[in-house]
Amino acid sequence: MKRALVTGANRGIGLAIAKGLVEQGYDVLLGARDFAAGEKAANQIGATALHLDVANPDSIAKAVQTAGPIDVLVNNAGILGSGSILNDPEDFLDSMAVMVHGPYLLMHHLTPHMAAQDFGRIVNVSSGWGAFSDGVAGPAAYGVAKAALNALTVASARTLPNTVKVNAMCPGWVRTRMGGTGADRSAEEGADTAIWLATLGKDGPTGGFFRDRKPIDW
């Protein structure tokens, strides 16, 4: 049985991704900064809760040690600031910590096992707001952080063996606490492409950016 770790998974898109992987027979670790909320969500879907604050390198190191070898990593955790990018240095640092540095450290810790066993799947949950083709939009540092996550996807796919597939995806505008109630997609619809990328066969793509299972522009 393959073991998957999904970050920020106690609600929203992350929970839908975790649930989808459980349903496909994966042993899923549900990463959550709020461990009590993570335990409650994990119990509902048949996953195992893992205390993980992706903004904290010490928390990442402890979580990796607790988790053991991981075959599938979904970097889903995210935050959405507000205001102008140059007005709030703290938001910039927080955004980069959660959506770039945290994913980087998890990949740093977990990819050696993936490369050694000639199998791994990494899904970076990004956004169209992180695309240069869409003008790197969004509030505060969100778009910049997602653009950096996209760059990390491309660079790591180039350096890892083809058996370890690294892709980014855009879930679209999803009805979550972050997306709001007016969004046009359910969490399950937003999670679909991430689940597809997490379960790719050996001939699947790597180093790509996808929405609705189709390539989109960087």
Instruction: Inform me whether the pLDDT recorded for 175 exceeds 90.
Output: no
Of residues 96 and 180, which shows the higher confidence score? 96
Burial call 161-182: b when 16+ CB within 10 Å, e when fewer: eeebbbbbbbbbebbbeebeee
> Is pLDDT of 174 > 70?
no
Measure the CA–CA gap between 83 and 39, rounded to whole angstroms: 33
Using a pLDDT cut of 70, give the percent of the chain over it. Answer: 94
Q: Which residue of the set 26, 129, 142, 210 is catalytic?
A: 142
Please tell me the predicted confidence (pLDDT) of residue 137.
87
pLDDT higher than 70, residue 47: yes
Asked about 26 being catalytic, the answer comes back as no
With beta carbons less than 8 A apart as the criterion, state whether 210 and 197 touch: yes
Query: Above 60 in pLDDT, residue 173?
Result: no
**pTM for this entry:** 0.95
DSSP element (H, E) containing 145: helix 142-159
Task: Walk me through the domains of the chain, giving residue ranges and CATH numbers.
Answer: 3-215 (3.40.50.720)
Mean pLDDT of the chain: 94
Using one digit for the tens of pLDDT, what is the confidence trace for 68-81? 999 999 999 999 98
- Asked if pLDDT for residue 144 goes beyond 80, the answer is yes
Residue 180 has pLDDT above 70, yes or no: no
- Helices 102-116, 142-159: crossing angle, 10 deg rounding: 20
In this prediction, residue 7 carries a pLDDT of 98
How high is the pLDDT of residue 1?
94
Q: Give the per-residue pLDDT at 184.
A: 65
Query: What's the alpha-carbon Rg for the chain, to the nearest Å?
Result: 16
pLDDT, position 187:
76
Share of the chain above pLDDT 90, in %: 87
Cβ-count burial of 83 within 10 angstroms (0-12 exposed, 13-18 middle, 19+ buried)?
Answer: exposed
Residue 207 reports pLDDT greater than 70: yes
Give the residue among 144, 157, 50, 33 at the shortest CA–CA distance from 107: 157
The DSSP string of 10-68 is SSHHHHHHHHHHHHTT-EEEEEESSHHHHHHHHHHHT-EEEE--TT-HHHHHHHHHHH-
pLDDT classification of 135: cutoffs 50, 70, 90: confident
> Could you please report the per-residue DSSP string of 161-214?
-TTEEEEEE---SB-STTT-TT-SB-HHHHHHHHHHHHT--TT---S-EEETTE
Query: Any idea what DSSP says for residue 140?
Result: T
> Of residues 183 and 17, which shows the higher confidence score?
17
Q: How confident is the model at residue 95 (pLDDT cuts 50, 70, 90)?
A: very high
